[in-house]
A and B are shown apart, each in its own frame.
Chain A
Amino acid sequence: MAEERHMMWTEKYRPRTLDEIRDQSEIVSRLKKFVEERSMPHCLFAGPPGTGKTTAALCLAHDLFGERFMDLFMELNASDERGIDVIRTTVKEFARAAAISEAPFKILVLDEADNMTGDAQQALRRTMERYTDTCRFILCCNYSSKIIEPIQSRCAIFRFSPLGEGDVKDFLGWIAKNEGVDITDGGLGAIARISEGDLRRAINLLQAASSLKGEIDEDSIHRLAGRIEPRYAKEILELAIKGNFSESRKRLRSLLLEKGLSPLDIIRQIHGEIFQIELQERDKLLLAEMLGEADFRISQGGDPEVQMSAFLAKLASLSSRPRG
């Protein structure tokens, strides 16, 4: 089994059949029923990242259609291919051609569907209705609330929950053994804790750790995680709090343009920090409101740097006021 070929372990150890999925047992048993009946409704898979939504969709298609399921299966990522045009063309073309062979229908997986615009979702809804005989849709999303009501009501909803720390640790231990990674029990526990139920993150951390020399323990995992996932937001916030708006904006600019970080990731990181800033409580609330506004405006087409800068300037002005 120990092939020398390098690949990402998330792919190497991604389950291929529903039987191989070790968790989300309630969901898996419902999906297995679809396979037995050779029939399924449109589905909505909702849950945090790394909980197995895409995997479940792939496994379901495999179990329904067998090894050559790729002919009957299409995977699109709404974040890259969002917008109404894709729905009108790609999705429709795939959906409307009847399934070949004895398969009763085809499956189209739309990943990160909550990143679709409202218009695109409306268009999708009509396509789903129109081609429901030939094609079943599986929409994956982090937040089902971002999917419009008419689509939700046409789907069977499956809620994926974050994996327990113990389950993550067990699975990591198995991979580590298989790959011959020299890691302590404390190291495995640290990865499980840091990854907060996100199995992709956990496995990626383990793989990155395996590139270190020598035995890997809890400490080395923490140092590793700090290198891989630096707290960018903190630095930007601290500069603004010190009243140095220009430097803060410059850092932000470099993260966006030079490091290529996604604006939404930076906003999410900032959001995680704002209630910890030393400010009056009502000012913190004001900041949350401003940040929400920035997030909203970016979604409406605003420039990420300009919108976040308005937030940073507000933070700088609140921090400069005498406290008391």
Chain B
Amino acid sequence: MRPAEQWEEKYRPSSISEIVGNKEAIGRLVEWVRKWGKDPKAKRGALIYGPPGSGKTVAVEALARDLGLDLIEVNASDDRSKGKLERMIGGAASGMSILGKGKILFLDEVDGMSPSMDSGAMDYIDELLSKANYPVILAANNAWDPKLGRIRQKCELIEFKRIGVREAVPFLKRVAEEEGIRADPEALKLLAERNRGDLRAMLKDLQTLSHPGGALTKEDVQGASRRDRTDLIFNVLKNVFSAKSCQSAKIAINEAEVDHEMLFEWIYENAPLWLSDPGDLANGMEALAKADLLFNIAKREQNWGLISYAIDLMTAGVAMAKERSRAGWVPMRFPERIALMAKTRSERAIRQRVLGRIARRCHLSRASASASVLPYVLEIARNDSKAFKGLAEWFGFDGEEIEFLKSLCGSPARRGSKEA
């Protein structure tokens, strides 16, 4: 069977006006290119960053077309050693265009370069940013990747955000209509939500899940597994946990399409499964605890340099902890903590409100109210509903807060016998 044309190609925007989402970021990029070379204070390069499928590459392509500029593009699939880079763009960077047109030099996926493969490439890019006669645009998933440290300073930073469901759905609807698919709006919405702002993945899903002239229901989308993305992270985890050297553990995460925080959660969740030996696990968890502290300090103090050590500890630290643990395949699971946080978010907000009221009434902090008043109030609620009602009034709890407190009053098994 002839492979069908990929929709991500078929519906690739040919002009900026066709791009979905990130209007403001694209506007800034266009502005930056237009002004390039005119304002001596402006940055020499632009670093556009954001999650996969947020439209970085298509934006640059469409921009070149709209402004009538030649696009010299290098991406991750190219061999990007210093020598190769020089050959591919060196001439273009300094010389004039054959047709007398302007140019844009575009280096895609710069955070995907591995230090050993692309030796000297970072130095070359650094140099390029100072010397090139044309605007240089770099794209990355993560602008804070430690490798990009030097380069980042010379670049205008432009963030591409995940494509919102409200922006994505009308586009998906248009594509579906074009392809003759009767798509349930709810199905499209779900499809957009599940791909978390990745427009390319949404298109891919839409193409795989539907067939021309057919229908696409919400059930179709629900039934489809999130295999691709999960496969990817499982693979990354496997490579981290089974790495034999610090370097390979560290490089393993370059493949991951999630940010460091999420990756940390995956490693932290699954470390006990991989490190079956208690001593190994203790060492691994200690490395993760240190990584966590560094991540948090980096964020609080805006000291991004610390992140590289945190990554070392989170990857190599865990890999090297494995000394006596069983080898072999281990099942992996989604970080439970993330799910639980999301599930308990609204409850925690109500809880904070309740504690705030108690704190004000009893001259305490919320933390002390939680430890030294709330448990007693709950006990009273369990035993004497009239007294609880009176106290609730005195504290000023609203209906939602009262319901919340009642739900905390012991297990469901006990609830029935309360009035006995």
Give the number of chain A interface residues (Cβ < 8 Å): 64
Docked-complex contact B289 and A309, CB < 8 angstroms = yes
A250 to B363, CA, bound (A): 33
Whether A112 is near chain B, meaning CB under 8 Å from some CB there, is yes
Chain B binder among A23-31, A38-46, A59-67, A224-232: A224-232
Q: Does A317 belong to the interface (CB within 8 Å)?
A: yes
Closest chain B residue to A79, Cβ basis: B365
Chain B CB within 8 A of A126 CB: no
Q: Is A127 positioned at the interface, with any CB of B under 8 Å from its CB?
A: no
What is the CA–CA distance of A7 and B361 in the complex, to the nearest angstrom?
10
Count chain A CB atoms within 10 A of each CB in B288, B296, B376 and give the residue with the most. Answer: B376
When distances are taken between beta carbons in the complex, the residues of chain B under 8 Å from A229 are: 375
Q: State whether B293 touches A211 (Cβ < 8 A).
A: no
* Residue-wise interface mask of A (270-302) relative to B, using a CB-CB cutoff of 8 A (1 in contact, 0 not): 000000000000000000000000100100111
A residues 1-50 touching B (CB-CB < 8 Å):
5-8, 10-11, 49-50
Contact with A along B296-325 (1 / 0, CB 8 A): 110010000000000000000000000000
Q: A229-B375, A262-B371, A317-B279 are in contact. Are A212 and B296 (CB under 8 A)?
A: no
Beta-carbon contacts under 8 Å, A246-261 to B: 246, 249-250, 253-254, 257-258, 260-261
Question: B359: which of A77, A78, A207, A262 is its contact (CB, 8 Å)?
Answer: A77
Whether B286 and A313, one on each chain, are in contact in the complex, defined by CB atoms closer than 8 angstroms, is: yes
Q: Does B348 contact A (CB under 8 A)?
A: yes
Is the beta-carbon distance between A205 and B370 smaller than 8 angstroms? no
Asked if A257 meets B293 with Cβ closer than 8 Å, knowing A111-B365, A208-B379, A316-B282, the reply is no
What string of 1s and 0s marks CB contacts (under 8 Å) between B369-396 and chain A? Answer: 0111101101110111001011101100
Which residues of chain A come closer than 8 Å to B383, judged between CB atoms? 208, 211-213
Q: Contacting B391 at CB < 8 Å: which of A6, A228, A246, A310?
A: A6
- Shortest Cβ gap from B395 to chain A (Å): 8
Q: Indicate whether B154 reaches chain A with its CB closer than 8 angstroms.
A: no
Query: Can you list 29 A-B pairs, Cβ within 8 angstroms, ordered by A?
Result: A5-B390, A6-B390, A6-B391, A7-B390, A7-B391, A8-B373, A79-B367, A111-B364, A201-B372, A207-B376, A208-B379, A208-B380, A224-B379, A228-B375, A229-B375, A245-B281, A257-B344, A261-B370, A262-B367, A300-B297, A302-B292, A302-B293, A305-B337, A309-B268, A309-B288, A310-B285, A313-B278, A313-B281, A313-B284
